[in-house]
Structure 1
Amino acid sequence: MGGSRRRGPSTGHLFRTLLSASAIARHRRRALVITGVGDVFSAGADLNWMSAITVGDYDDQVADSERLDDLFHAIHSFPAPVLARINGHALAGALGLVACADIAVAVRGAKFGFTEAKLGLALAVISPCVQPKIGLSNALRYFLSGEVFDADRALDICLIHEVCERERLDATMERVVNDLLAGGPRAQRKIKELIRKVENTRTLVEARQLTVSTIAQLRMSDEGQSGMKAFLRQQPMPSTKHIEE
């Protein structure tokens, strides 16, 4: 990702790159890791992009916002685990990517902030990703105030999952990735799908039908059979780096 408003790739180029990368990795990869360049995850939009959007009409603004929403939807709906390796400050729209991640690890010293209100804007496109993560009360406070907070506070409000020292970031990410690789890739994709669907079920009857069907399918799958047999033999589950077609 781009390091700041003044360095790194343009916002438009960044969006296209992330969309392309997620499309390529979508079907067979075990996980998607999003990180920044140097010591900054992303400090928000670059100046060229911000200058361009100030001169567009309403239709231009809608089209640009839809492209932004396409990016967050692609990350949020990515079937395999998504990890955010937050190597430094993450501000404004970058927090949409953090919120879309299934697992987010940040270095101590990283700063976070939903700063749109200080520009006379609203945290609109990324709010469907962020608000379920941090809850209504925290959304009201931080969206309205635009205040900047540290990694420990980001952990407290459930925006991220773990904080580590900068020199431990790679080791921490390696541990997280290894934990994921120890699981069944098809099961992990099914788990993500199940979590999203359970969240949207309206009754316990709907949830029952969904959960019973899911576990029955997984028990009968080749991966489930292999995993259960390995457990009974007191052996680790066979791992794979790719999803076979």
Structure 2
Amino acid sequence: MPLVRSAHERGITTLTLDSPANRNALSAGLVGELTDALTRCGEDDSVRAVVLTHTGNTFSAGADLRNPPPPEALVALLRRIVTLDRPVVARITGHVRAGGLGLLGACDIAAASRDASFAFSEVRIGVAPAVISLTVLPRTDPRAVARYYLTGERFDAYEAARIGLLTVCGADVDAALAPVLDGLRRSSAQGLAETKRLLTAKVLEAFDRDATDLSALSARLFSSAQAREGMTAFLERRDPAWVL
């Protein structure tokens, strides 16, 4: 069964993360399928923009702790979103955790329903939001993201919009996105591609400068003793040993 489904209507291709059994966790398989689907969108002249959404109550729970992708594969996926010469729009009607926030940061526009929730939960399993910082840090308020990186606290959609993770949130996410999609359909392919290059130039500088080091940091942390304890505790639904 595919982990990413694709549909097309009036210039908009919708890619749906469809692995609800593990809350659309970023497994090696899902990351590979999504990267390939985005590449196909970039090769299809009928695609004016891409909407990235999900089945189930979670956009993405972050890395699949049982079958995680290599850090380099996650870097490649995030870079594929950033460099795609079509706008990528996140549509969220559920929760987003850890690595899922890296996808959100890579998208050009992001909308969520007001009952969505967000958390950088890496510190609570003994790792750090390393690779996803490539897309999150350029988009977000530094003081706010310091708090949420360091504490792993959960925050709501209104706070996510305030700190720059979301473009818009509301009771009806599709109503909030309707003028966005209409605007994209009225825009030329060339205009969208060149405008996106202007908007993503600084983000790509971060990839070129930091991606290798952040991938190495992620690999080192995930192989550490504290991460093994944190991931085991998470899977066993208990507190890790360091909780005071």
Contact 1:106 1:162 in 2 (8 A): yes
- Aligned residue number for residue 26 of structure 1: 42
For residues 47-76 of structure 1, give each alpha carbon's deviation from its aligned partner in whole angstroms, at most 9, with x where no partner exists: 4225xx8xxxxxxxxxx1111111111111
- Which of 178, 184, 191 is the aligned partner of 1:187? 191
Q: 1:118 to 1:200 in 2, by over 3 A?
A: closer
Q: Percent identity?
A: 35
Post-superposition shift, 1:14? 0.8
Q: 1:144 aligns with which of 150, 159, 178?
A: 150
Q: Provide the C-alpha distance between the structure 2 equivalents of 1:46 and 1:6, rounded to a whole number of angstroms.
A: 8
Listed one character per residue, the Cα deviations across residues 71-98 of structure 1 (whole Å, up to 9, x for unaligned) are 1111111111110001110111000111
Deviates more, 1:134-143 or 1:87-96: 134-143
One of 85, 91, 114 as aligned partner of 2:91: 85
- What does residue range 12-91 of structure 1 map to in structure 2 within 5 Å? 12-27=28-43, 28=45, 29-49=47-67, 64-91=70-97
Q: For residue 131 of structure 2, give the secondary structure of its aligned residue in structure 1.
A: coil
Where do residues 1-245 of structure 1 align in structure 2 (5 Å cutoff)?
A: 1-2=17-18, 6-7=22-23, 11-27=27-43, 28=45, 29-49=47-67, 64-165=70-171, 168-197=172-201
Query: What secondary structure is seen at the aligned counterpart in 2 of 1:132?
Result: coil
**The 10-residue stretch of structure 1 (86-95 or 26-35) with the greater mean CA deviation from structure 2:** 26-35
Task: Determine helix, strand or coil for the equivalent of 2:141.
Answer: helix
Return the TM-score normalized by structure 1.
0.70
Distance 1:8 1:147, change over 3 A: closer
Change (3 A) 1:113 1:199: closer
Between the aligned partners of 2:190 and 2:122, the Cα distance in structure 1 is: 38
How many angstroms does 1:6 deviate by?
2.9
For residue 155 of structure 2, give the secondary structure of its aligned residue in structure 1.
strand
User: CA contact under 8 A between 1:4 and 1:43: conserved in structure 2?
Assistant: no
Alpha-carbon contact 1:26-1:80 (below 8 Å) kept: yes
How far does residue 38 in structure 1 lie from its aligned partner after superposition?
2.4
- For 1:134, what is the secondary structure of its paired residue? coil
Deviation at 1:42, TM superposition (A): 1.4
Structure with more of its chain in helix, by fraction: 1
For the aligned residues, what is the CA RMSD? Answer: 2.3
- Shift in Å at residue 170 of structure 1? 2.5
2:67 aligned counterpart, secondary structure: helix
Unaligned runs of 5+ residues in structure 2 are 1-16, 206-244
Q: Kindly provide the CA deviation profile for residues 144-175 of structure 1, in whole angstroms up to 9, marking residues without a partner as x.
A: 1111100010011011011111xx22333333
Q: Normalising by structure 2, what TM-score?
A: 0.70
Q: How many angstroms does 1:39 deviate by?
A: 2.6
Q: Quote the Cα distance in structure 2 between the aligned partners of 1:10 and 1:195.
A: 26
Say how many residue pairs are matched: 187
Question: What amino acid is the match of 2:57?
Answer: D
| Cα distance per residue 1:76-122 (max 9 Å; x no partner) | 11111110001110111000111111110001110101110000001
Cα distance in structure 1, aligned partners of 2:163 and 2:19? 24
Assess if the C-alpha contact under 8 Å between 1:72 and 1:100 holds in 2. Answer: yes
Quote the Cα distance in structure 1 between the aligned partners of 2:142 and 2:153: 16
Q: Is the 8 A contact 1:111 1:149 kept in 2?
A: yes
Higher strand fraction (1 or 2): 2
- The gaps in structure 1 that reach 5 residues or longer are 54-63, 202-245
Matches of 2:204 and 2:126, distance apart in 1: 33
SS in 1 for 2:140: helix
Q: Which stretch of the first structure deviates more once superposed, 179-188 or 80-89? A: 179-188
Q: Does structure 1 conserve the Cα–Cα contact (< 8 Å) formed by 2:119 and 2:155?
A: yes
